[in-house]
Amino acid sequence: MRIVVVNNFFPPRVGGSAHMSASLAEQYAASGHEVLAITAAYGDAPADEIKDGYRTVRFPAMKMPQLGLSIDFDMSFASVRPGNWRKLFKLLDEFRPDAIHLHGQFFDLSWMAGLYARRRKLPMLLTIHTLLISDNKLYGTVFRMLDAMLVKPILKYLKPRYILLDKLGVDYCVDRYGTSDANSEYFPIAVDTGHFEKPLAKDVRAEYEIGDGPLIVSLGHVIPLRNRLPLVEALPSIVDKHPEVKVLVVGHVYHDAFLKRAKELGVFDTLIVAGVVPKSDVPSYFAAADIVTHDLHGGCGTASLEAMLSGTATIASVTEDNYPGIELHNGENILLVKPDDSAAVARTVIELLDDPEHRAVIAQRESAMVRANFALEVVAEEHLRTLDKLVTESRGHVL
């Protein structure tokens, strides 16, 4: 098959959807398919390159103005740049795709490529990544309006087959977009196990002069949906029991409420903010940690699953039925707390730091669970079976 993978977020951008879409593109190519990745320009990344077995084309894009709001994101838009629509359709006509895999329901490149697929009557998958929700009432209302007035009508016209990654995404899409079993597939997040089998790139503890004390790593961009407040508010209790503990926050800080709260609670000196790090360094940060946690508002995303895979005890905040068809058992093969429950975070962290042997056993079980259910090759094969079926149906005969 000729498969197009589309995502405004794509390496060298960092983030869960960027890594997942790139990993799937590489796996599709490794399975013998011809793959074209389409994304927005970013930094000094080449406009056109062949890497990891597939071609990537980056379209000129306008960056979202950074207004100094707590909701600022590193977004960019390709649809507003002159000539991009014509260039995209020409590129796709030349590639002659059999199917298109879109990532991100509110990205303009997904809409542009989706419109192409609709006009050419090509099958398309759409993976739902970030959900437009917020604890802030104003932002939450704005997001719901955007979903209702813009995103939903576009998706209704495009008619993709949805890829839903977890129960949160399923419930959200049923509510916001009217999805159902008839137009959806339920595949988990894909985790690239090979990435964690390479030698470590750096000594994180030495670089940040952390020493041998307890280290909690919290990896992922700090945004309102992952604001780190439950972890910060758990720190006074944790520090009281383990005064040498450090928390290393890795990722771009778009929302700094956790820093202000840490000052109020007198635990600011416990925090180390590392900023954005290359994907190749991520295993080193997990290896340095005693505990990893950042999904504390009702999630368990790519970074959390990668941390589990790495063999580091990882705390998340989903229910045991979060991934359809995958059995999670709290305290056995995963560590779960209720969303936004700082007391539960404190209790779980202290228990893990108090009992290194138990922590190691849980970490090993988490790693095995992720490897069995979320490994890239397993998830990519499920995607390819679905793509093959859709292409067969669209052509009306067996390939």
Whether the pLDDT of residue 342 is over 90: the answer is yes
Name, in order, each residue with C-beta under 8 angstroms of 52's C-beta and a sequence gap of 6 or more: 22, 25, 26, 29
Q: Are residues 168 and 62 in the same domain?
A: yes
Tally Cβ neighbours within 10 Å of residue 101.
Answer: 29
Q: State how many domains the chain has.
A: 2
Q: What pLDDT does 119 receive?
A: 96
Q: Are residues 383 and 368 in the same domain?
A: no
Q: If we measure between CA atoms, which residue out of 240, 248, 253 comes closest to residue 270?
A: 248
State phi, psi for 178 to the nearest 5 degrees: 70, 30
* N-terminal to C-terminal alpha carbon distance within the chain: 9
State the pTM of this model: 0.78
Q: Are residues 219 and 86 in the same domain?
A: no
Strand partners, 258: none
Q: Are residues 233 and 358 in the same domain?
A: yes
Q: Are residues 171 and 215 in the same domain?
A: no
Amino acid at the residue 232 = V
In which band, very low, low, confident or very high, does the pLDDT at 71 lie, cut at 50, 70 and 90? very low
Q: Are residues 214 and 184 in the same domain?
A: no
CA 217: distance to chain centroid?
Answer: 17
Q: Are residues 149 and 261 in the same domain?
A: no
Q: Are residues 161 and 57 in the same domain?
A: yes
Residue 354's domain comprises 197-373
Q: Are residues 118 and 209 in the same domain?
A: no
| Whole-number Å distance between alpha carbons of 234 and 245 | 12
Strand partners, 272: 248
**CATH number of the domain to which 343 belongs:** 3.40.50.2000
Task: Please return the burial class of 34, using the count of CB atoms within 10 Å of its CB with bins 0-12, 13-18 and 19+.
Answer: middle
Q: Are residues 175 and 250 in the same domain?
A: no
In which band, very low, low, confident or very high, does the pLDDT at 65 lie, cut at 50, 70 and 90? low
Name, in order, each residue with C-beta under 8 angstroms of 152's C-beta and a sequence gap of 6 or more: 176, 177, 178
Tally Cβ neighbours within 10 Å of residue 376.
Answer: 20
- At 208-225, the pLDDT tens digits run 999 999 999 999 999 888
Distance of CA 382 to CAs 10, 38, 305, Å?
Answer: 22, 22, 18
Name, in order, each residue with C-beta under 8 angstroms of 111's C-beta and a sequence gap of 6 or more: 79, 154, 158
- At 114-148, the pLDDT tens digits run 999 999 999 999 999 988 887 778 888 999 999 99
Q: Are residues 262 and 182 in the same domain?
A: no
Q: Tell me the average pLDDT of the chain.
A: 93
Q: Are residues 235 and 180 in the same domain?
A: no
User: What single DSSP character describes residue 285?
Assistant: H
